[in-house]
Structure 1
Amino acid sequence: MAERSVLSIRDLAVQFRSEQGTVRALDGVSFDLRAGRTLGIVGESGCGKSVTARSILRLIDWPGRITGGQILLDPEEPQPTDLTALGPESRRMREVRGGRVGLIFQEPMTALSAHYTVGNQIIEAVLQHRDLSKADAKAQAIALLGEVGIPHPQRRIDAYPFELSGGLRQRVGIAMALAGDPDILIADEPTTALDVTTQAQILGLLQRLQREKGIALMLITHDMGVIAEMADEVAVMYLGRIVETAPVARLFAAPRHPYTRALLRAVPSILATPRQRLSTIGGAVPHPGLRPGGCSFHPRCAENLGERCRREVPAPVPLNEDGGASCFLAEDAA
């Protein structure tokens, strides 16, 4: 039996308006996040992964705004909460932000304030979501630092972020995300700029925390190796849209969208011939304000069907356990 959905996004649209025109950063994004499972969001830079994460917590910077769709918290309950209906600074949204949904930012050095100790910042997060005295909040902060694997947490709590290594700062970021005891955790490229050993430690930590706490994890990355190691289900994004969803084993065994196949071909292999050139995807992700007509991937697609792909937009990805692809080739194969 499938685990219950704790978060459902339906037809989410986000736009940024400026004097140069309107940019559709997200254009009808839909997916489900299930309790105790890991959903991997993968795609090149500029595809809308981080905007999706910030939209859930209503952290879109001006002039961006949500223009359509729903973000449903506890969608299987009789009265789910639609986060798009809440004010970004409303009391209920502040309770959800950090309390129900924790966010691990992409770059811990910019997410943490250089003017305050890590202890002060974690204690503030604890007090925001738990009814504790300041002394108890400090004890809880020390416990969180120990829980995420920081040695000597009684001493480290008085350290400033610039006194810590990148790996330790990322662990502090995870501790802050856990301060409100959330049941949903969004990790936005949590291993960016970390060496491979530290990356493996951070990913192992996330797996352990999920296993122990039953957290639903939304993992944003551009690394297919991380997806293979961590995810249960995968959503592939391109230019503000979900172009394929699938269980992780099926995605790697039989990808249905040409973009997914191109991403997988670009992954280095130890079985490759020495000095063989890596496969690349031609061109670059277009600016969201210059979205091509028809299928948005067709200018870069080596498998496009010509006029049909230039003129027609493929149907959205079906939301079912086996997933699907937003591609005419996948439709014809089915």
Structure 2
Amino acid sequence: MLQTPMADHAAPAVALAVRDLAVQFRSEQGVVRALDGVSFDLHAGRTLGIVGESGCGKSVTARSILRLIDHPGIITGGRMVLDPSTPREIDLASLDPESRQMREVRGGRIGLIFQEPMTALSVHYTVGNQLIEAVRQHHSVSVAEARNRATELLRDVGIPRPETRIDAYPFELSGGLRQRVGIAMALAGDPDIVIADEPTTALDVTTQAQILSLLRGLQEAKNISLMLITHDMGVIAEMADEVTVMYLGRVVEVAPVRQLFAAPRHPYTRALLHAVPSILARPRQRLSTIGGAVPHPGSRPFGCSFHPRCAERVGAVCMERIPDPVPPGQAGASCFRTEVPA
């Protein structure tokens, strides 16, 4: 059974343990290491925030867990264990993506809220048809019973007049309503875990707040373990219990949310927080930025991946060596700055 050490012995059981997950995309142009040894724990009934810039591997991590990596991507190493250290333990990395057991997990044990609901929902079928199919995929019920369940799901996610909206097509709904339908789809199989991949990216500020409030309420009502993927530190502050910070396919810091904001240990985490606009800033003051851009995973820099953009690098060591990873199940930072005095 997988060992899951925890710094906080009062923490709830681990619902999902990811260990040393590695994903590569192989083509004629070479091999791209999209994920390079990613490890983290998602605790039962709690929210894990995964944060980082675009291109850091957040969505690839989500799709890997559900075995939805598109060709030519393959999982080359690591484990993704549901219910670790229990008789129900399942290593998702060992399952055939097309197997019956994986299909039961995908949508049944783990639900996914996609980043863009307009592309996640088919424009050729009504909302009801798609929800009914999702319900019947994981429950042995009649079409009429599945339609009733679909109507209840639409009501649960706050869609007005669900009895009539169930027959609407996705293009007839606003962005906020489509996202609510996406949440209902993720809940159709009564999952224990929900992965929300940038669930508020395409929405206005007011609708974002409503969606986050909805997710929090559903999590509390159904005791769902929520993995929230985002680039928005404000969303992390409001929603997360623990935070995993990713950069270029690696985990660079893990911490409880209060600790992360009070005393971030990795320079990349500090740079992300400094880039958040402040209401205390002077008028017309320039926003802080992180110099450069996330390198392409196919052309990683030597040593620490962040060192070309890091204002706090520790001499040549950052350019020559890769810092040790954060120990699984523990808080910490993968950085020489935490080992060498300033």
Please point out which of 12, 32, 40 is paired with 2:21: 12
Once the two structures are superposed, residues 10-67 of structure 1 have per-residue CA deviations (whole angstroms, 9 ceiling, x without a partner) of: 0000000011100000000000001110000000000000000000000000000000
Identity of aligned residues (%): 77
How far apart, in 2, do the equivalents of 1:246 and 1:99 lie?
29
TM-score normalised by the chain length of structure 1 = 0.99
| Deviation (angstroms), 1:2 | 1.1
Once the two structures are superposed, residues 50-87 of structure 1 have per-residue CA deviations (whole angstroms, 9 ceiling, x without a partner) of: 00000000000000000000000111203510001111
More moved, 36-45 vs 303-312: 303-312
Output aligned runs, 1:1-334, within 5 Å. Answer: 1-78=10-87, 80-321=89-330, 323-332=331-340
Contact persistence 1:236–1:260 (CA under 8 A):
yes
| Deviation (angstroms), 1:327 | 0.2
Once the two structures are superposed, residues 236-276 of structure 1 have per-residue CA deviations (whole angstroms, 9 ceiling, x without a partner) of: 00000000000000000000000000000000000011110
TM-score normalised by the chain length of structure 2 = 0.96
Aligned residues: 333
Root mean square deviation, CA, Å? 1.0
How far apart, in 2, do the equivalents of 1:140 and 1:291 lie?
48
Unmatched 5+ stretches in structure 2: 1-9
Contact persistence 1:149–1:171 (CA under 8 A):
yes
Once the two structures are superposed, residues 172-217 of structure 1 have per-residue CA deviations (whole angstroms, 9 ceiling, x without a partner) of: 0000000000010000000011000000000000000000010000
SS, match of residue 284 in structure 2: coil
Once the two structures are superposed, residues 279-334 of structure 1 have per-residue CA deviations (whole angstroms, 9 ceiling, x without a partner) of: 0000000000000010000000001112100001100012345x000000112359
Once the two structures are superposed, residues 119-174 of structure 1 have per-residue CA deviations (whole angstroms, 9 ceiling, x without a partner) of: 00000000000111110000000000000000000000000000000000000000
SS, match of residue 193 in structure 1: coil
How far apart, in 1, do the equivalents of 2:329 and 2:21 lie?
18
Unmatched 5+ stretches in structure 1: none
How far apart, in 2, do the equivalents of 1:30 and 1:106 lie?
23
Contact persistence 2:41–2:329 (CA under 8 A):
no
